[in-house]
Amino acid sequence: MSTPPNLSPQQVSAFPQHETITGVVERLTFYSAESGYTVARLTRPRSNELTTIVGSFANIQPGQTLQLTGFWRDHPQFGPQFQVINYQETKPATLTGIEKYLGSGLIKGVGPVTAKRIVAHFGLETLDIIENQIERLIEVQGIAKKRITLIKNAWSTQKAIKEVMVFLQGHGVSTTYAVKIYKQYKDEAIATVTKNPYQLAADIYGIGFLTADKIARNIGIAPDSEFRYRAGIVHCLSEAAEDGHCYLPQSELIESVIKLLTTESHQSTEEAVAIIIKDMALADDLIRERDEEKTLLCYKPTYFHTEQNLAQLIRQRLEKPVGTDIERVRDWIERFTASRKIQLSEQQRQAVETAAYSKIMILTGGPGVGKTFTTHTIVSLWKAMGKSIALAAPTGR
């Protein structure tokens, strides 16, 4: 295996060497049905010890024969483990392996006893029979037509999972993401990814635009695809939201999208991006509003409606001030400051008074102007008024 370019000698020595191992799943130590995260024990040919494997699997059961690609790591508590990057299921090569595979619970309708009967009847041809001539299971004692239908449906499900995983891994999708994609779309996974891989960024937690864009390139989606432009626009607005912006002026949005979408083989243009923005606005996938200066502002709909609802809630609260005896508040401020031998500036005093009769107040100012002291005074006032107080610090202070 070659190492990535431009690494220092120290980085090269630390880079995990990938290898491929094959074995039969002996048992599952841990399995999360939601994420696919698995810790399992594997029996490898010509090895007397079980191997611990760790990774994400769409569906894994004892008895499966797997070919795994990954690297070794030494867990401080549990010792050597094989970290799985990609995997594929292979057919078991022995009668014992086939019997264990069928009786593992992977195929609904086939338990250990039935598996033993099937393998005893068909031998090494068992899996080919189930794949291509499943109706012949009627030859096995104790298997009725009703159960054959059950086995056929379960086998088809397993085959579909395998096809989806092979397809996704063949297009550069990691096992972790492949599991998430299958669990989200089931049998529609291949069709969804083939048509619009950018849908993944909207539907699956952990897959953002950049990952979806990489998958799209591997599948052969054109760089000027409308799907790509739409996803890029949403991504840029989401990135702006991370910096605290509910919207972006259209000119800034276009500039960000061009920077995101331009590649060595494709140059995005203002006109192309503007057309998609307009189409998205017409379809209500994006909201455009003009501010007082007639500048076009672009919102993700969720941010726009959240901002509108928040403004409405604030207005409702401002229209109904708290019934407070302001003269009593001022008298308390005088006595409080005198007893503490402190002096409030005019703005600090105004803030303490406003907090006493307003349901909402914003206290702002640069560093060192007395915001913390003013807040302390407000809390002391409310305690004196017999109020119950809860404080939260969203900035972490």
Is the same domain home to 248 and 266?
yes
Report in angstroms the alpha-carbon separations of 61 from 10, 38, 66, 89, 396. Answer: 39, 11, 11, 11, 45
pTM here is 0.66
The answer to whether position 3 is within a domain reads: no
* Separation CA 150–CA 310 (nearest Å): 53
Domain residues for the domain of 130 are 95-163
**Domain final position from 219, 250, 285:** 219
Is the same domain home to 86 and 100?
no
Is the same domain home to 117 and 154?
yes
The answer to whether position 234 is within a domain reads: yes
The answer to whether position 240 is within a domain reads: yes
**Domain final position from 90, 113, 134:** 90
Residue 146 burial by CB count (10 A; 0-12/13-18/19+): exposed, middle or buried? exposed
What CATH code is carried by the domain that includes residue 103?
Answer: 1.10.150
Is the same domain home to 100 and 86?
no
Is the same domain home to 102 and 79?
no
Alpha helices (runs of H) in the chain, residue ranges in sequence order: 9-14, 95-102, 112-122, 126-132, 145-170, 175-185, 189-195, 199-203, 209-219, 226-242, 250-261, 270-282, 301-318, 326-340, 346-357, 371-384
The answer to whether position 6 is within a domain reads: no
Is the same domain home to 308 and 232?
yes
pLDDT, residue 299, reads 97
Is the same domain home to 82 and 99?
no
What CATH code is carried by the domain that includes residue 73?
Answer: 2.40.50.140
Is the same domain home to 304 and 338?
no
The answer to whether position 71 is within a domain reads: yes
* Separation CA 46–CA 28 (nearest Å): 21
Q: Which residues contact 17 (CB under 8 A, 6 or more apart)?
A: 1, 71
Is the same domain home to 274 and 350?
no
The upper half-sphere exposure of residue 5, i.e. CA atoms within 13 Å in the direction of its Cβ, equals 0
The answer to whether position 207 is within a domain reads: yes
Domain count, the chain: 5
The answer to whether position 374 is within a domain reads: yes
Digits of tens for pLDDT over the chain (397 positions)? 333 344 444 443 455 688 999 998 988 999 887 788 999 999 998 887 899 999 998 878 888 889 999 999 998 888 999 999 888 888 777 788 788 888 877 778 888 899 999 999 999 899 889 989 999 999 998 898 888 998 998 888 888 887 888 888 778 788 788 888 988 998 899 999 999 999 999 999 889 999 999 999 988 899 999 999 999 999 999 999 999 899 999 999 999 999 999 998 899 999 999 999 999 999 999 999 999 999 999 999 999 999 999 999 999 888 887 777 888 889 888 888 888 888 889 999 999 998 888 888 889 888 888 888 899 899 988 888 788 889 887 665 4
pLDDT digits (tens, 9 = 90+) for 220-265: 899 999 999 999 999 999 999 999 899 999 999 999 999 999 998 8
Is the same domain home to 204 and 249?
no
The answer to whether position 362 is within a domain reads: yes
**Domain final position from 50, 70, 90:** 90
